Amino acid sequence: MASHLTSNSSCQQTLTPVHDIVDVQTKNCSIVRGGPAGGVLALLLAHQGISAMLC
pTM over 0.85: no
- Cα-flanking dihedrals φ and ψ of residue 27, to 5°? -130, 155
Distance of CA 11 to the CA centre of its chain: 33
Chain mean position to CA 7: 30
The pLDDT score that the predictor gives to residue 52 is 86
Determine the pLDDT at residue 10.
57
DSSP 7-48: E-TTS-EEEEESS--------SEEESS--HHHHHHHHHHHHT
pLDDT at 26: 77
Listed by start position, the domains of the chain span 27-55
> What are the tens digits of pLDDT across the range 5-53?
555 555 667 777 777 777 777 778 888 887 899 899 889 988 999 888 8
Please report the pLDDT score of residue 47 as a whole number: 93
